[in-house]
């Protein structure tokens, strides 16, 4: 849908656009499952970048506070991987400046060489400009393996992964497995979109809990 608004782009409203529009309407009319920050301490930021976009997640004590993502601009598509990953960090800090400015926090990236950014001697003009911006924040930059950086990775690749957002930190393993399946190249894009649209949050009733306890041998032994 974003591409349709670009200059000289042919307006071709296909099935994929219709599904994206319906998903957008659903997101705008339903309450997000996000936590409110208790204090400005123990904040953690996860960032990731791909050839499609930038993504980031702000968390506190294992709970998601906010998500953020955007597509790459035309000139950013020529950035090397190092600069793309650094751009994701700058993007996240600008978005959540009101949460992060003036407090100590941790920032995780899946690009290992960024750990040595502040001690790197040779920097290009773009990196020097961003480094001056980063010095305004008090954070520890840590390496996080790409396989574990599921949330930010999914956000940065939303163009091909149907905006699947999952969180390993909250131990939702069922969602994690579904997201990995949808990220597979063997699964068509339309199938991934349908799977994402079918994902819903359901509350567990007291009756369901009682029925589950009756068939749970370990619970019966403890009782």
pLDDT tens string 136-156: 999 999 987 765 555 556 555
Q: Which distant-in-sequence residues (6+ apart) come within 8 Å of 50 by Cβ?
A: 84, 153, 156, 157
Q: How far is CA 28 from CA 31, 39, 89, 216, in A?
A: 8, 27, 26, 40
Residue 160's pLDDT band (cuts 50, 70, 90): very low
Dist CA 220 CA 7 (whole Å): 66
Specify which residues 45 forms β-bridges with.
58, 107
Asked whether 195 and 182 are in contact (CB, 8 A), the reply is yes
Return the closest-CA partner of residue 52 out of 69, 66, 65.
69
All structural domains of the chain, each given as residue ranges with its CATH number in brackets, are 33-207 (3.30.420.10)
pLDDT tens string 57-89: 999 988 889 989 999 999 999 999 999 999 999
What is the mean predicted confidence (pLDDT) over 9-17? 88
Specify which residues 142 forms β-bridges with.
108
Dist CA 184 CA 161 (whole Å): 9
**Ramachandran class of 76: left when φ > 0, alpha when ψ lies in -120 to 50, beta otherwise:** alpha
Which position has the higher pLDDT, 134 or 149?
A: 134
Dist CA 98 CA 66 (whole Å): 12
């Amino acid at each position: 849908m974003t591409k349709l608004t670009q200059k000289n782009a042919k307006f071709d409203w296909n099935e994929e656009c219709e599904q994206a529009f319906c998903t957008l309407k659903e997101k705008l009319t339903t309450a997000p499952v996000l936590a409110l920050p208790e204090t400005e301490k123990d904040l953690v930021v996860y960032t990731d970048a791909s050839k499609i976009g930038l993504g980031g997640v702000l968390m506190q004590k294992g709970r998601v506070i906010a998500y953020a993502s955007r597509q790459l601009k035309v000139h950013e598509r020529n950035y090397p991987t190092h600069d793309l990953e650094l751009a994701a960090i700058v993007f996240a800090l600008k978005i959540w400046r009101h949460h992060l400015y003036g407090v100590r926090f941790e920032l995780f990236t899946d690009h290992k060489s960024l750990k040595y950014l502040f001690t790197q001697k040779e920097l290009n003009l773009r990196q020097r400009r961003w480094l001056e911006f980063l010095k305004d924040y008090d954070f520890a930059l840590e390496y996080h393996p790409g396989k574990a950086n599921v949330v930010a990775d999914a956000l940065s690749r939303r163009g091909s992964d149907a905006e699947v957002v999952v969180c390993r930190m909250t131990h939702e393993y069922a969602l994690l497995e579904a997201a990995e399946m949808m990220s597979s190249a063997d699964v068509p894009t339309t199938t991934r979109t349908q799977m994402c649209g079918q994902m819903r949050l359901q509350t567990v009733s007291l009756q369901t809990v009682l029925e589950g306890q009756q068939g749970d041998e370990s619970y019966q032994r403890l009782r």
